[in-house]
Structure 1
Amino acid sequence: MIEAYKKMYTKLEDLPSKYITAKQVVNLKSLGIDTIYDLIYYFPRAYDNRSNVKNIGDLTFNEYVVVKASVMSVLNMPNRSGKKIVKAMITDGTGIMEVLWFGMPYISKSLKVGEEYIFIGQTKKSNLFQFINPEYKLYKGQEKETAKEILPIYSSNKSITQNNLRKIIKKFLENFLKYFEENIPNDLVKGYKEIFERTQAIKNIHFPESVQAIEAANLRFATEELLILELGILKNRFIVDSLNTKKYEIEGKKEKVKKFLELLPFELTRAQKKVIKEIYDEISDGKIVNRLVQGDVGSGKTAVATVMLIYMAENGYQGALMAPTEILANQHYLGMKERLEKIGLRVGLLTSSIKGKKKTEILEAIANGDIDIVIGTHSLIEDNVVFKKLGLIVIDEQHRFGVNQRNKLREKGFLGNLLVMTATPIPRSLALSIYGDLDLSIIDELPPGRTPIKTKWIANDKDLSIMYDFIYKKVNSGNQAYFVAPLIETSDKMALKSVDKVSEEIERRFSDKKIGIIHGKMKAKEKDEVMLKFKNKEYDILIATTVIEVGIDVPASTIMTIYNAERFGLSALHQLRGRVGRGSKQSYCFLISDSTTENSKQRLSIMEKTEDGFIIAEEDLKLRNSGEIFGLRQSGFSDLKFIDIIYDSKTIKDVRDLCIAYLKKNKGKIKNEFLKYDIERKFSDLQSGN
């Protein structure tokens, strides 16, 4: 049966012409439709349903509805990529609604302020209810039209009309719906919610019998896409967990850990101690550790990782710490070496710049067990790196490494204990879903005594001039400053600051200062050299792109200035701001933006009000496309069609719990062959970047 099921992935051009013409194949390809599956799963973006007329004051989230309202205002605005957005505010006397059209600037000319229109679409929720790209028609005072049929409205282009799309899809449903076997096992969703069978849902999402049938079809496909995603993330974990009891025994020596903690110039925070205990407990039970340690910039993740590396070394196992750049690996090495050697541990460094006899000696020392803890970059995953008894792997800034790189290092281990660290806060419920194969530890507390970074939004030329004078005085007194631009080179298409333009400005205003430049087109070695010079105070000022988002600590850098700040997500702004405030001096962050959009105002105001990365992450998810948030593309969350990761967090959790229960019952195996194939297909596409 599975072979017949696979036929739904047949390419359209391979079908006989009685089903589809060559011209239709070309037109559908322009919409990203290549296979039978793509076409059947090319769901409507809205419905032309004139019977479901509602007042704005009675709207609910995510419903297909018709609103009769007057236009209050119409604006043409550029979005972050420079494309036009048409924004209209409408009212019917019971409330106000926002209507947005993307990439259709001509609409602003066809809408007249004060005129009454019918708007047909799906409601979204921002601060107000929204329509995104709805159908609209001039209301000429006629009585409400009625129609038995609810017509689908698809995303389309000039190559193919709505009518033609409807006809092709209807024809394919008649001929190929038989291939779409049920891929949600009853025992998986038993007791959850009553949901449509797959073929019933497909029919009703394209050509619905009623509004209620649309809602039921939506529920079914929301459940399906989450099941495929969550099971794909979770299944490997349960295969490991089923074997993960009393894998090894550790004596539990802690003398070197105690000595290390005594050498620290600070006491660990409550949050750090809690995370260390979580990891200790797993190791004491002989479990293979598989944990994400998430904490804000400066929360002390490295100290937690160091404690665990010492603990494993003291009990006879080697440790490895992999960093994304050579300069960051060097920073970890220099930060650990002196303290760890004082307590009798041997620390080694392995990076691509270490060659010849020195590299051979390090490789031999790792293989012989003469090095307890090795710190390095991608060099650690090379085939010639062999550990005598690797017991714990720590990966810093985990989103900089692919899953395959992570696994390659893990395969070198005598044990498979793994800690991955990230300084990009993600709301807990979302982190549990994205990293379902990892246990989650959160360091939600900063060390005491840190001076808050003062953040100011620079919105006009007067404030900009004051800012430059202020920075000059600070740099003159020994402070260092970053200036970050969104582009490397000037673009004719986008009126944005580039590194070369910022360089001209800074060299003019700071002509007596030493200035360095770093950007993504430079080779890794060149970037490392520039960052090292900045750290060693050979530069007073560093002009950069976001390549400095993850970087080394430069205690004397106290000023971060970001041009066109409206172009960055909140999480990116927060990460950039985290490059300063590393020392004891007061630090400052300036956000330069003359944008007047509501989104930009909200974003920059949030940055002025808080330094809490978790609050910022929540707000970022609300203000941005969820797929833009770090890590979501590779996890599959960026292409969810039926789930909003903010508003549907409970549904995500519910389905995740269903998946966990199902996998426990089936010892990590997926019994339904159709669901299993869909998961394999989904995750092979994600890994290949499709």
Structure 2
Amino acid sequence: MEGVREKELRERLLRPILRELRDGAKDQVVVGGLEGLIQNLARPFPELLTLFQGYGAKTPEERLPVLEAALRLLEDGAPPRLPQAQERPRPGKLSPQDPAHLLVPPQGRKKLAELGLRTVRDVLHHYPRRYEDRRALPGVRYLEEGQKATLSVRVLSKELVKTPKKGMQLVQVRAQDAWGWRLTLVWFNQPWVLAQIAEGATLIVTGRVQRRGGVQLWVEHFEDEGTESLSTGRIVPIYPAKEGVGQAFLRRTVHRALEAALPLPDPLGAYREEEGLPEYTEALRAIHFPEDEEALKRALLRLKFDEYLLLELKALLDAGGMVLGRAFRVEKAWVEAFKRALPFPLTGAQERVMAEIAKDMQSPRQMARLLQGDVGSGKTVVAAFALYLAARNGAQGALMAPTEILAQQHYGNLTRYLFPLGVRVELLLGSMSQREKEAAMARLLSGEAQVAVGTHALIQEGVGFRDLGLAVVDEEHRFGVLQRRALLKMAQVPPDVLVMSATPIPRSLALTLYGDLEVSVLDEMPPGRIPVKTKVLPHRLRLQAYAFAREEVRKGHQVFVVAPAIEESEELELKAATALYEELKGLLPEVRMALLHGRMPAREKDGVMEAFRQGAFDLLVSTTVIEVGVDIPRATLMVVENAERFGLAQLHQLRGRVGRGGLPGYAILIAGEAGQKTLRRLRVLEESADGFYIAEMDLKLRGPGELRGTRQSGYPELRLGDLAEDTEVIEGARALAKRILEMDPDLSLPQHQALKDELRAQAERIGFREVI
């Protein structure tokens, strides 16, 4: 029997060899090259040492057979036979981790590599981007002028026609359908097509119909039906591909993978029936070659569920799974005392979320909750309630904000809410003197101060707590997950965590971006808050916005003007803001102005914002760095130039900067490009003041790819999922992920082995580090 040490060594060698295969045999997965690693580790396997001699000097094509032979040796104990140059695809059973090139003849290997299909699993999960119903293709006689059609025809003859116009050539192919009706297939300036078409061949062609003295089809796509039936008489998959990689080739390759690798163990196991989903093997077959629309619908649902389940499992495992913390006491008298001390009544949404937080804090598990609320919905009051409960239990709380001005604002509000209840709040900022910092840190370490409010200064060396029980992080995307974790490490026992965000995120996106957090939403505004009146103006009328700005300044009010967003170019954005600033100085010479941009040091930005808040300026020209949640009580007007370059949710958040001091607020969105589609999108903001409705519309109109800025860590690509439609599926997958990890925190039980294997296999593909 093989020794344990030798088995471990085999597994240790297999990992880099499999990664090398997936990477296209580029010899970049190990520092110093794979040959050096093999020479160091593989002494018990002399055959491997011989096999990898000179590996670094070989081309990627020459390395592939070496890797395949090494896999056979390590997995099966078979001798390291190098395959012959013309070896055909290996028949018989394949495993998902086998190299994909075993499915195709040698000339097909390059095509798979171009699409990044390294393993059989990659091929199985290369899902179609759309489908064509070819169960009953139309006949030529039924084609109409201008129609785009797909049909099956037999080639009668072909020729290359040179036209009188210089450099213009047409490929013309005479063909007929199954009923004998004839047409001419036309390719414009593609003479190479002639060599790809044989007389007597059956083609599947797609193109635009012209009826001019006969039927012509100007071909956009074609494929040779050949002798197989994967391209006609069925619902046919159309795959993501590159030039030179044909659809017929991909269908044959996927079909071989399905035949060679299935059936596979079901990652959901017994949970599949509980969720009412089809078997994994059945779903993989149907996603590629569905028998009918219902089979395709069920397959999509199953594989979407798997995709979201893996995302949620990864998020929970990354966060440390279900962490045990401390169970706080919550007494009804405390809750009532907190409410009585407030200078205003709570909204129903605040009452509901506070109850959710109290329930979490009473649990022995660590609270990990995301609190979402539109600008002005009262998140700080809810955070104050959680901090008050921690203090009543003898523990301390900390609130970390992204900027000093926002930290100071939180400090003022929390002191107003908590001081009457006997809770001392301490402020800790990087700009404080060393003496002030040391005094504040001493009060935190002794426990004299029960709540700390600050910036990243809270996680600097020398800061400590007597007993940190609750961490509140405001606008976490401005920090990142690492800063949150640094704050948590300052506690003796894992503290409860409350993450706050004023960026409206659709529930489906929140559940995936923040998969490790429960989600609470403040979806109700306090009474008396007047919605900001919003107007969309075409660019030709933009001077009206500045005439209105002049009037607001004359009333003693203040104005924000936001320069256009320029993607991935802070320098160009700065130039645009500077140019706008200079233009407005000439247009409004009597108005006191300041400029704010992302290139300024943090302290200088805070200084400009503080001066604006104190009334030193009437108008602030800014890039999109205007701080979230900062109160400028006399700011009443927000003007956004080139508003079409911003997302709806971002525009909604920008307009939330005005009308916060009891004065009416106005937002003017200037559309630099005034097409009907642009104006229709922007007018969503004229019609609604509901940040979550606007975020949902943003998701539908722009897609999640445009919304990834909501979290520094980025967002993985979904192959099948549709965040605008899949909220229910995501919630089901998340509930199951939590249930599985409660029972089996590291997926070590036998019934979870297939799920664990799938999670590991998918980790590298979607950019996750290995978590189990």
Tell me the TM-score normalised to structure 2 length.
0.69
C-alpha deviation, 1:392, in angstroms? 1.4
Contact 2:472 2:499 in 1 (8 A): yes
Residue in structure 2 matched with residue 543 of structure 1 by the alignment: 621
Contact 1:295 1:425 in 2 (8 A): yes
Residue 207 and residue 374 in structure 1: after superposition, are their counterparts in 2 closer, same or farther (change >3 A)? Answer: same
The question of 1:227 aligning with 2:276 is answered no
1: CA distance, partners of 2:305 / 2:144:
34
C-alpha deviation, 1:321, in angstroms? 0.2
Among 405, 426, 431, which residue is 1:348 paired with? 426
Residue in structure 1 matched with residue 126 of structure 2 by the alignment: 42
CA deviation string 1:294-329 (max 9, x = no partner): 211100000111122123223311110011122211
C-alpha deviation, 1:534, in angstroms? 1.4
The question of 1:148 aligning with 2:229 is answered yes
1: CA distance, partners of 2:615 / 2:414:
22
2: CA distance, partners of 1:337 / 1:91:
70
The question of 1:563 aligning with 2:641 is answered yes
Among 62, 65, 73, which residue is 1:16 paired with? 65
C-alpha deviation, 1:681, in angstroms? 6.0
1: CA distance, partners of 2:562 / 2:451:
35
Residue in structure 2 matched with residue 439 of structure 1 by the alignment: 518
Among 441, 448, 451, which residue is 2:527 paired with? 448
1:442 partner SS: strand
Among 609, 628, 649, which residue is 2:706 paired with? 628
2:472 partner SS: strand
Among 263, 273, 278, which residue is 1:195 paired with? 278
Among 178, 182, 193, which residue is 2:265 paired with? 182
Contact 1:117 1:139 in 2 (8 A): no
2: CA distance, partners of 1:209 / 1:5:
38
Contact 2:426 2:449 in 1 (8 A): yes
Contact 1:289 1:418 in 2 (8 A): yes
CA deviation string 1:54-88 (max 9, x = no partner): 9xxxxxxxxxxxx977659xxxxxxxxxxxxxxxx
The question of 1:365 aligning with 2:412 is answered no
Residue 482 and residue 651 in structure 1: after superposition, are their counterparts in 2 closer, same or farther (change >3 A)? Answer: same
Residue in structure 2 matched with residue 423 of structure 1 by the alignment: 502
C-alpha deviation, 1:191, in angstroms? 3.8
CA deviation string 1:348-392 (max 9, x = no partner): 222232353332332222111122111111222234322101121
The question of 1:51 aligning with 2:51 is answered no
The question of 1:240 aligning with 2:310 is answered no
Residue 68 and residue 508 in structure 1: after superposition, are their counterparts in 2 closer, same or farther (change >3 A)? Answer: farther
Residue in structure 2 matched with residue 122 of structure 1 by the alignment: none
1:221 maps to amino acid: L
Among 677, 682, 689, which residue is 1:611 paired with? 689
Residue 341 and residue 305 in structure 1: after superposition, are their counterparts in 2 closer, same or farther (change >3 A)? Answer: same
C-alpha deviation, 1:486, in angstroms? 2.4
Residue in structure 2 matched with residue 139 of structure 1 by the alignment: 209
Deviates more, 1:660-669 or 1:360-369: 660-669
Contact 1:331 1:552 in 2 (8 A): yes
Residue in structure 2 matched with residue 584 of structure 1 by the alignment: 662
1:267 partner SS: coil
C-alpha deviation, 1:646, in angstroms? 2.2
Contact 2:594 2:620 in 1 (8 A): yes
* Correspondences of 1:203-602 after superposition (within 5 Å): 217-234=299-316, 239-240=321-322, 243=324, 247-250=326-329, 252=331, 261-262=339-340, 264-284=342-362, 288-337=366-415, 340-354=418-432, 356-413=434-491, 414=493, 416-428=495-507, 430-461=509-540, 463-487=541-565, 498-548=576-626, 550-602=628-680
C-alpha deviation, 1:662, in angstroms? 3.6
CA deviation string 1:5-37 (max 9, x = no partner): 997643322522854999988876665666665
Residue 259 and residue 661 in structure 1: after superposition, are their counterparts in 2 closer, same or farther (change >3 A)? Answer: closer
The question of 1:679 aligning with 2:759 is answered yes
C-alpha deviation, 1:346, in angstroms? 2.5
2:594 maps to amino acid: G
2: CA distance, partners of 1:188 / 1:551:
44
Residue 446 and residue 28 in structure 1: after superposition, are their counterparts in 2 closer, same or farther (change >3 A)? Answer: same
2: CA distance, partners of 1:15 / 1:527:
55
**With CA pairs under 8 Å and 6+ residues apart, which has the higher RCO, 1 or 2?**
1
Residue in structure 1 matched with residue 40 of structure 2 by the alignment: none
1:416 maps to amino acid: P
Residue 152 and residue 505 in structure 1: after superposition, are their counterparts in 2 closer, same or farther (change >3 A)? Answer: same
C-alpha deviation, 1:686, in angstroms? 4.7
1:441 partner SS: strand
2: CA distance, partners of 1:217 / 1:624:
26
- The count of residues paired between Structure 1 and Structure 2 equals 614
CA deviation string 1:147-167 (max 9, x = no partner): 832265433444x43269639
Deviates more, 1:528-537 or 1:273-282: 273-282
2: CA distance, partners of 1:348 / 1:23:
70
1: CA distance, partners of 2:248 / 2:670:
48
Contact 1:238 1:663 in 2 (8 A): no
Q: Which runs of 5+ in 1 are unaligned?
A: 55-66, 73-89, 93-109, 111-115, 119-134
1: CA distance, partners of 2:645 / 2:690:
21
2:229 maps to amino acid: K
C-alpha deviation, 1:624, in angstroms? 1.4
Residue 470 and residue 673 in structure 1: after superposition, are their counterparts in 2 closer, same or farther (change >3 A)? Answer: same
Residue in structure 1 matched with residue 245 of structure 2 by the alignment: 161
C-alpha deviation, 1:682, in angstroms? 5.1
2:442 partner SS: helix
2: CA distance, partners of 1:23 / 1:541:
66
Residue in structure 2 matched with residue 106 of structure 1 by the alignment: none
Residue 277 and residue 41 in structure 1: after superposition, are their counterparts in 2 closer, same or farther (change >3 A)? Answer: closer
Sequence identity percentage: 37
1:137 partner SS: strand
Residue in structure 2 matched with residue 126 of structure 1 by the alignment: none
2: CA distance, partners of 1:259 / 1:219:
49
1:450 maps to amino acid: R
C-alpha deviation, 1:344, in angstroms? 3.5
CA deviation string 1:413-437 (max 9, x = no partner): 3451111111123344553454343
C-alpha deviation, 1:591, in angstroms? 0.5
Residue in structure 2 matched with residue 95 of structure 1 by the alignment: none
1:223 maps to amino acid: F
Deviates more, 1:165-174 or 1:429-438: 165-174
2:658 partner SS: coil
Deviates more, 1:518-527 or 1:668-677: 668-677
Contact 2:591 2:619 in 1 (8 A): yes
1: CA distance, partners of 2:436 / 2:573:
50
Among 737, 740, 747, which residue is 1:669 paired with? 747
1: CA distance, partners of 2:379 / 2:361:
18
Tell me the TM-score normalised to structure 1 length.
0.76
